[in-house]
């Protein structure tokens, strides 16, 4: 869950968050946010790009988690992290709140998560993987 904090920088195509656009009007909490995204995506055939973090798009910070608490998570999978429902979801939602209110905690946990992820080996052993030039095509 901590590694999703990387979504504090970057962009996503409208097609990746179209499910969020369909929920305009369901929650007064994020209506303005979703309406602005609808305007961005209208007429773009889904190819327009939106910042994953509209508040501080070029800064690596904990704003992503603050956005989730206010209902302004761009991707449906991100926004779901702040909604406690299901097994263990309360723990995840509590961690979202912890990171939103304590940037140092997020930075420390994120660094540790990146180190753990860097130690992962590909399935089948160390030589079984490849670094792709284009993520969608095998070299």
Which residues does the annotation place in the binding site? 7-8, 53, 56, 61
Cα–Cα dist 50/35, whole Å: 13
Annotated binding site for heme b: 7
Annotated binding site for Ca(2+): 8, 53, 56, 61
Q: Tell me the three-class secondary structure of 75-109, residue by residue.
A: CHHHHHHHCCCCCCHHHHHHHHHHHHHCHHHHHHH
Largest CA distance in the chain: 51
Sequence-ordered list of residues with C-beta below 8 angstroms from that of 25, at least 6 positions apart, any chain? 31
């Amino acid at each position: 869950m901590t590694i999703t904090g990387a979504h504090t920088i970057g962009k996503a195509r409208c097609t990746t968050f179209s499910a969020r656009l369909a929920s305009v009007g369901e929650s007064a909490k994020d209506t303005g946010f979703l309406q602005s995204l609808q305007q961005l995506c209208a007429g773009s055939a889904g190819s327009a790009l939106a910042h994953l973090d509209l508040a501080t798009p070029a800064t690596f910070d904990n704003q992503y988690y603050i956005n989730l608490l206010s209902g302004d998570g761009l991707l449906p999978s991100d926004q779901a992290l702040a909604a406690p429902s299901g097994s263990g979801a309360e723990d995840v939602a509590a961690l979202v709140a912890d990171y939103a209110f304590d940037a140092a905690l997020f930075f420390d946990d994120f660094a540790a998560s990146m180190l753990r992820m860097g130690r992962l080996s590909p399935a089948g052993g160390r030589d079984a993987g490849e670094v792709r030039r284009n993520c969608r095509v095998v070299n």
